[in-house]
Structure 1
Amino acid sequence: MNKIPNRQAICEVLMDRAKEDKNIVVLCSDSRGSASMTPFADAFPEQFVETGIAEQNLVSISAGLAKCGKKTFACSPACFLSTRSYEQAKIDVAYSNTNVTLIGISGGVSYGALGMSHHSAQDIASMAAIPNMRVYLPSDRHQTKKLIESLLLDEKPAYIRVGRNPVEDIYTQENCPFEMDKATVLQEGSDVAIIACGEMVRPSLDAAALLKEQGILASVLDMYCVKPLDETAVRNVAERAKVVITVEEHSPFGGLGAMVAQTVARVCPKKVINMALPDAPVITGTSKEVFDYYGLNAKGIADKAVKALKGTK
């Protein structure tokens, strides 16, 4: 079982590249430990900025440094980065089109027992609503590495959400197909299309295996690029399927499900079912306990697919 969280994968890439590229700067809001950025701060103190618990300053300083030619990566808990510094993300980063990558750590319900104040179930919707802001939810450490390497090559704003804990690998170091802003087709099927992002990709892939045991063939699409959404990939899997299911660690409003539904309605009208967190404060528990409670696991996704397919007959 993988023991490297996506946040650590981000640090490893940045440390490797910072040896040669002195324009790479990491900023944290008293969160270097949570962001797994302590090794970077220790190794490159002149390329690290600690703002303290001041998320608005974190984002504005990042934008200022970017305007001076730096490649800035601002790390802060997703729950605070996507709310407290929303205006700065909107104006200083996106509207000003600065080379800032906002990294929302411990996203979704990663903080578990700390409750709604520390959960980020709205960040996909809020960040995606900002013009010029791209939104990414990588599914494992290997894809996270590829994403950071790609973001280092461009100069456009981006928001990345990663969870707190390690997630089971989807890919391997040798086999991690990646194209910027293009979803990855993990499996093809003609009965149901499952489109997922972030930590929901693994249970979606496992759900496809359960469905296969029942003679149901499922496509699984890793939509790490929530904005811009890969509409071509959505159309391709939706056209072949009887029903489309989206799975996300997010509010049922404005996230991956809403974007996919809008696309499917426009290009190939078909039934779309969105599996997400409820429109309410979630129960207290670990990520796994929360996912299991709301059916955001392999069995829950498979059961939803079976029920949905029965409704199409």
Structure 2
Amino acid sequence: MNHTKNHDMRREFPSRDELIAYVREQFPNAADGDESVSEIVGGRKAAEVALNQVNPAQYAKSRNFLNGKVTRLSPYIRYGVLSLAEVRDFALKNVQNPNEAEKLIQELAWRDYWQRLYAEKGDAIWKDQEDYKTGYAAGVYQAELPADVEQGTTGMVCIDSFSHELREMGYLHNHARMWLAAYLVHWRHVRWQAGARWFLSHLLDGDPASNNLSWQWVASTFSHKPYFFNRENLEKYTNCAYCQVCPLYGKCDFEGSYEQLEQRLFPQAESIDKRGGSRSFERPKKRRR
């Protein structure tokens, strides 16, 4: 058996720029697809700074808005820099009433739930857990990610902005993930697996468990109905940041009531309950087993 001599990687750098240059040197093929470097800083110190800025009560009230008080802890949790128990204990310690921390703790519980499902199902999470509830068979959906979505050149300011942010930041607000996923699956008829692979290739907090099963929830292969949205919903939770500057305003694919969009998107499906804009990308209703 041949053994390759290993050498220790450097761990101390005078600046972040030198760290980035060193990583590029050591892994020259890593930047072939994209040279973007996220501004999110890794490590335990950065994680502690982010944790100490969390306000559980404000999180519960504003988390669905793109400018809301989200925690930004997911990359650190993803790689074990912070544990779920540590975040839970911090939340409970920093509220006057335990009920104020309930929503944040629920989100931590969902992350734990996804991991337990992953441990049980393994690579099966890449397969449709159920049939689509959209009125379309799985074979109707295309297997490849459209180039205009990946490159952020659809002409829709919201979708293109989310695409650029995903690539450049390695992070997206949960609501932006929902909208982008719904657009790909329900408007562009792309299989959720293509979107899931795309997300995992960029997200710093991406892990197959929460990522794949969340995509399946949007697609309706792991929920009782598909998730979709309209312009009113997007405007509400973005404070009109994208719609008002979009050349397609008033004539984009997201115009109309939920009832009108349902007829357009799922003409062959059974009636779908009206869904609200605050549904979360990583949280289907817990299913009886």
> TM class by shorter-chain length?
under 0.3
TM-score in terms of structure 2 length? 0.25
Identify which of structures 1 and 2 has the higher relative contact order when contacts are C-alpha pairs closer than 8 Å and 6+ apart.
2
TM-score in terms of structure 1 length? 0.24
Larger fraction in helix? 2
Which structure is larger by alpha-carbon Rg, 1 or 2?
2
